[in-house]
């Protein structure tokens, strides 16, 4: 039942391997059939000529039938070859149903022809050798399938029996032909089935080997790809490690920020020059003035940028044989081998001139360097002593340059603050007027009012260290941005401490955002712990901020601003100072009305 199910199943006939096997068998059979056709045409033509030359009169009936059969096979084989030429397949994949019909038809004709010829031959000389040869030749060479073999052999046997019955009158011989013909067909069919089975097994084994080979090749390719990938990864890792080692070697002797040599390399060169007993060696020490102030006011990123600009400036001023290194946070050192006093003096002047040139100032800030030099003329003197001498000379210059350098930086920051004031449309000027008027109302001295005006002008100087994305943001600040904004009072405090003109208001700058109830920043002071000047500025600053346009909102009316100030009385503002401020505004309003 299972075999029957397989035979009627479409999947059985559409199996790719079965189709491939089928085409191979037909292709081989077609090749053999063409060879047989050529042999039969040549052989039968020769036999016709030999057997009929010279021409015989009154030829027996058996010979006449045999001649007809010779002529028939010559004609059919020529026709077969012509049909093959119409569509001759070059390989098994080209086999079609047309070729299958030709193979089966030609095989059936050959066996039936052999059966007919033997039925005639047994009448002439009593044997059926042609049929025997034909059956076993077809069984051995033509690769038919079992059903096809059964059909071909059965049909040829019927032709053989029909011919024998027609031509043989001897009952004994007739019986012998029945038996011999049946045995012959059965044996040939068995041989055909055995060979078919062997060919099928051989095909299956070959396909299994091919599949195993393909699988092995696939695995080899995959393994090769894996090995190639692993090799690439290993190469990448080696390159990465080599790069990392080169970077480590580089940064072990170079400063990561400026790219100059570091202190380690500088000290190695000092020892090398000392050991070589090289005669005259010059040494220059440089220190960037005001770097701490820039770091505190504008952030360490800006301070680092200043150091990089300074390093590039120093490096351009010296020979390629000179050793330029960063030996400290804001300190640079230069070793000049084979140096004379004149060369050292020229190098010093060249460096000082480059630092003093206004066009080489960094982002508007004056680039100021304190420079010290020393020269070793005696090889017996250690270079460490020369280093100390140059460092001391630099320090002495720094003592009288540092204050002026800080002052210059503060003045530059003040100008930057004034340039930014255009955003608030003259906020600092209006604030100076208001705090001065309120100070007069509160009875402050003239000197205090002058300080108060200065405080109003520079209370937000710390904002020069804030990025524009926060300072001019049109939307409300985030929590992180608000924390960064609140740092401006501390930055301003440090800047004021560095400027002689602002030292006396530095404490006010630090505390000008404290609230009456203690919820301000940065110290959380309450009530009278907050300086009066800060309490005055707080009220005036809030009023002007509300009545002026800002990037994040539009101005409100004076009445709305006063109402908001009253709401925050005792919370953000000193109630007494606020009361005096409102009275001052009302007085100004009355004066304006009287004047109009």
52-93 per-position pLDDT tens digit: 766 555 556 667 777 888 888 889 989 988 998 888 888 888
According to DSSP, the residues that pair with 336 across neighbouring strands are: 282
Say which residue, 576 or 422, is predicted with more confidence.
576
pLDDT one-digit tens code per residue, 393-442 = 877 776 655 555 555 555 566 666 655 554 445 677 788 888 888 888 88
Q: Please compute the mean of the pLDDT values over residues 438-461 and round it to a whole number.
A: 82
Q: What is the pLDDT of residue 8?
A: 42
Instruction: Name, in order, each residue with C-beta under 8 angstroms of 510's C-beta and a sequence gap of 6 or more.
Output: 489, 490, 492, 493, 522, 523
pLDDT at 1 over 60: no
Q: Please compute the mean of the pLDDT values over residues 254-259 and round it to a whole number.
A: 85
Q: What is the pLDDT of residue 365?
A: 59
Instruction: Name, in order, each residue with C-beta under 8 angstroms of 374's C-beta and a sequence gap of 6 or more.
Output: 282, 283, 386, 387, 389, 390, 393
Q: What is the pLDDT of residue 2?
A: 43
Q: Please compute the mean of the pLDDT values over residues 115-125 and round it to a whole number.
A: 78
Q: What is the pLDDT of residue 56?
A: 57
pLDDT one-digit tens code per residue, 275-302 = 766 668 888 888 887 777 677 666 677 7
The dihedral formed by the CA atoms of 363, 366, 369 and 370, expressed in degrees to the nearest 10:
-150
Say which residue, 167 or 6, is predicted with more confidence.
167
Q: Is residue 352 within 8 Å of 371, Cβ to Cβ?
A: yes
pLDDT at 473 over 80: no
Helix 383-420 × helix 263-275 angle, to 10°: 150
As a whole number of angstroms, the distance between CA 550 and CA 561 comes to 14
Q: What is the pLDDT of residue 160?
A: 85
Neighbours of 454 (CB within 10 A): 16
Cis? peptide before 54, omega within 30° of 0: yes
pLDDT at 509 over 60: yes
Handedness of CA 560, 562, 566, 569 (dihedral sign): positive
Of 165-169, 233-237, 448-452, the one with minimum mean pLDDT is 165-169
Name the E strands within 149-239: none
Whether the domain at 263-410 and the domain at 425-591 fall into the same CATH topology: no
Of these ranges, 4-8, 368-372, 456-460, 533-537, the one predicted with the greatest mean pLDDT is 533-537
Q: What is the pLDDT of residue 409?
A: 59
Say which residue, 289 or 515, is predicted with more confidence.
515
pLDDT at 4 over 50: no
Q: What is the pLDDT of residue 358?
A: 46
**Residue 431: which of 441, 421, 419 has the closest Cα?**
421
Q: Please compute the mean of the pLDDT values over residues 152-159 and round it to a whole number.
A: 88
Residue written as token pair 């004066």 = 591
Of 307-321, 350-364, 530-544, the one with minimum mean pLDDT is 350-364
Pull the structure tokens for residue 559: 């009445």
DSSP-assigned letters across all residues of 436-491 = HHHHHHTT--HHHHHHHHHHHHHTTGGGGGS-HHHHT-SS---HHHHHHHHTHHHH
Question: 225 vs 10, 221, 238, 269, 532, CA distance in Å?
Answer: 40, 6, 19, 51, 80
As a whole number of angstroms, the distance between CA 131 and CA 119 comes to 9
Q: What is the pLDDT of residue 79?
A: 92
Within 13 Å, how many C-alpha atoms sit on residue 495's CB side? 28
Q: What is the pLDDT of residue 543?
A: 85
Residue written as token pair 């097994």 = 201
Q: What is the pLDDT of residue 500?
A: 67
As a whole number of angstroms, the distance between CA 175 and CA 177 comes to 5
* CATH architecture for residues 425-591: Orthogonal Bundle (1.10)
* Share above pLDDT 70 across residues of the chain, in percent, rounded to a whole number: 83
pLDDT at 447 over 70: yes
Q: Please compute the mean of the pLDDT values over residues 572-581 and round it to a whole number.
A: 87
pLDDT one-digit tens code per residue, 98-117 = 888 988 998 899 889 888 88
> From the CA atom positions of the chain, what is the Rg in Å?
58
In the chain, what are the domain boundaries? 2-196, 263-410, 425-591
pLDDT at 356 over 80: no
* CATH architecture for residues 263-410: 2-Layer Sandwich (3.30)
Q: Give the burial class of 120: count Cβ atoms within 10 A of its Cβ; 0-12 exposed, 13-18 middle, 19 or more buried.
A: buried
* pLDDT bucket at 7, cuts 50 / 70 / 90: very low
As a whole number of angstroms, the distance between CA 580 and CA 369 comes to 51
Q: What is the pLDDT of residue 362?
A: 47
Across all residues in the chain, what is the average pLDDT? 80
């Amino acid at each position: 039942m299972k075999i029957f199910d397989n035979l009627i199943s479409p999947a059985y006939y559409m199996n790719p391997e079965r189709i491939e096997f089928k085409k191979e068998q037909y292709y081989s059979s077609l090749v053999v059939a063409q060879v047989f056709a050529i042999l039969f045409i040549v052989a039968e033509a020769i036999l016709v000529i030999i057997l009929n030359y010279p021409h015989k009169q009154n030829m027996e009936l058996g010979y006449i039938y045999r001649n007809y059969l010779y002529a028939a096979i010559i004609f059919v084989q020529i026709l077969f070859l012509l049909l093959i030429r119409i569509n001759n397949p070059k390989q098994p994949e080209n086999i079609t149903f047309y070729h299958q019909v030709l193979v089966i038809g030609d095989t059936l004709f050959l066996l039936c022809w052999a059966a007919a010829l033997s039925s005639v031959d047994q009448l002439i000389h009593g044997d059926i050798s042609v049929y025997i040869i034909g059956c076993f030749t077809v069984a051995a060479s033509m690769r038919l399938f079992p059903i096809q073999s059964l059909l071909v052999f059965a049909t040829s046997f019927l032709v053989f029996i029909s011919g024998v019955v027609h031509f043989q009158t001897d009952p004994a011989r007739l019986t012998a032909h029945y038996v011999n013909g049946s045995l012959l067909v059965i044996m040939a069919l068995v041989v055909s089935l055995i060979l078919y089975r062997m060919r099928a097994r051989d095909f299956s084994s070959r396909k299994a080997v091919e599949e195993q080979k393909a699988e092995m090749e696939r695995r080899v390719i995959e393994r090769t790809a894996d090995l190639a990938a692993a090799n690439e990864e290993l190469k990448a890792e080696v390159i990465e490690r080599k790069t990392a080692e080169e970077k480590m070697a580089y940064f072990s002797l170079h400063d990561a920020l400026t790219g100059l040599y570091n202190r380690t390399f500088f000290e190695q060169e000092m020892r090398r020059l000392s050991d070589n007993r090289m005669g005259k060696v010059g040494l220059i020490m440089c220190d960037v003035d005001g770097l701490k102030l820039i770091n505190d006011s504008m952030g360490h990123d800006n301070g680092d940028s200043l150091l990089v600009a300074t390093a590039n400036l120093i490096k351009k001023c010296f020979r390629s044989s000179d050793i330029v290194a960063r030996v400290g946070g804001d300190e640079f050192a230069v070793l000049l081998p084979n140096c004379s006093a004149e060369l050292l003096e020229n190098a010093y002047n060249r460096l000082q001139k480059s630092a003093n040139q206004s066009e080489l100032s960094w982002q508007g800030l004056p680039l100021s360097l304190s420079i010290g030099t020393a020269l070793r003329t005696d090889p017996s003197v250690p270079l460490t002593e020369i280093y100390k001498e140059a460092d001391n000379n630099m320090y002495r210059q720094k003592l009288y340059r540092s204050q002026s350098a800080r002052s210059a930086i503060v003045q530059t920051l003040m100008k930057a603050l004034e340039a930014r004031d255009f955003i608030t449309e003259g906020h600092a000027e209006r604030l100076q007027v208001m705090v001065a008027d309120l100070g007069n109302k509160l009875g402050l001295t003239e000197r205090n009012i002058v300080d108060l005006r200065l405080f109003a002008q520079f209370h937000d100087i710390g904002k020069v260290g804030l990025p524009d994305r926060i300072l001019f943001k049109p939307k409300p600040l985030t929590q992180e941005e608000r924390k960064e904004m609140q740092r401006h009072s501390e930055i301003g405090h440090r800047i004021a401490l560095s400027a002689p003109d602002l030292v006396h208001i530095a404490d006010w700058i630090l505390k000008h955002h404290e609230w009456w109830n203690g919820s301000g920043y940065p110290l959380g002071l309450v009530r009278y712990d907050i300086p009066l000047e800060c309490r005055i500025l707080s009220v005036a600053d809030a009023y002007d901020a509300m009545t002026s346009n800002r990037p994040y909102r539009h101005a409100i009316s004076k009445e709305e601003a006063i109402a908001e100030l009253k709401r925050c009385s005792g919370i953000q503002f000193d109630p007494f100072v606020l009361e005096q401020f409102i009275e001052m505004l009302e007085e100004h309003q009355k004066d304006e009305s009287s004047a109009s």
